[in-house]
Each structure stands twice: as C-alpha cells, then as structure tokens.
Amino acid sequence: MLCSANFVTQFDSLPQNYQSVVTEGVDIEANYQTDVGPGHLALRALGSYQPMLKTIQFPGAPVLNSASTPGQPSFRSSLFIKYTWDDISIDILERIHSGTKWNSDRSLIYAEPDFPWAAYTNLSITYDWQPAQLYLTISNLFDKQPTPYGNNGGSSGVPGLFGGFVPLDDAIGRYYTVGFRLNLD
C-alpha cells in the first residue's frame, strides 16, 4: 500500500457533553383536619419553590436561569379546603403561581414590567344521594383573565397556534360543570 508522507489515515471524533443543568428548591405539603360546628373541615396545602434552574449550553455560553420564566414560576401552590356536613360537601381549590421574568437570559432587559402573580379559585358543591352524587363546579370562580403574553421564536411565533397568555394562566375564564356520578359497588 502506497501512502504519501503526512497523509491523514484516520479521523477520530469523540462526542463530549459540556451542557450542564443545576437546580435547587423545596416542596412542602401540609394537612390539617378537625370538626367545626356540625361538619368536618379538611385543609391541605401543596407548595413548590424552585429559585434556580440554571443551564449552561456550552463553555462560554451565557448562564440561563429558567426558574421564574413564563410557564416555570419559581413558586407554585395549590390550597384545598373541604367542608363536609351530612350529605353536602363544599370544596375550594386555590391555585397560585408567582410572577415571572420575560426570559431565562437575565442579561436581556425589557421595557415592559415582569409578569404578575396569579391566583385562580375553583368551587365545587356536592350532594351525596346514595348510590349517586350530584355536583356543581365553578372553575375560575372570579373570572380572572389571563395575563397577555407574546413569545418570540419557534411555534409561538405562528399566529393562532400558541400563546396570547402566560402559560399556567387560565385562558378560558369562568365556566360551570354540572354532573351526576353513579356508584355501582
């Protein structure tokens, strides 16, 4: 086999992953139950706090902190309140999320203010009528409108496909659900 001097005889390509993700946070849960008046009260709280979700895509790239961006608020919570009296139950669900920045790249500065905190309340009333249940649920009880938001890039730039509001906000508004459940046990 003839080979010229200094002619390349082999190429080696070794993939290396320089990307890194660092996160920290805490999840909290609390429950409490007691009798109040003629009925029973149950309280439950779930909370999540994630102040850091940092990504470095390659050496020298800016550090991106996705925590506290639209769709990734640093604080999220669900509060459940249930009061049961004889055959009637009243349930309240409160969903809360913290305000967010516009972008994960903190070196970008926007003229618009950051997005505000949001809270949504759902109310359900259930009547136990064995072997069935009748219920009424009002979602987004106070008809809170979502925060307007227009993202850029990717599919969010296609009109009518995505967006118009901050992710996790309720885009529908107040609505009612009436139902009947039959227990055949």
pLDDT digits (tens, 9 = 90+) for 84-126: 999 999 999 999 999 999 888 888 888 889 999 999 999 999 9
Provide the pLDDT for residue 153.
Answer: 59
Provide the pLDDT for residue 159.
Answer: 59
Provide the pLDDT for residue 4.
Answer: 67
Provide the pLDDT for residue 19.
Answer: 82
Provide the pLDDT for residue 155.
Answer: 53
CA quadruple 63, 66, 68, 69: dihedral positive or negative?
positive
Distance between CA atoms of 6 and 97, rounded to whole angstroms? 63
pTM for this structure? 0.79
Closest among 146, 21, 140, 27 to 75, alpha carbons compared = 27
Q: Which residues contact 94 (CB under 8 A, 6 or more apart)?
A: 77, 78, 79, 81, 119, 120, 121
Mark the ranges of the chain whose per-residue pLDDT is less than 70: 1-4, 151-163
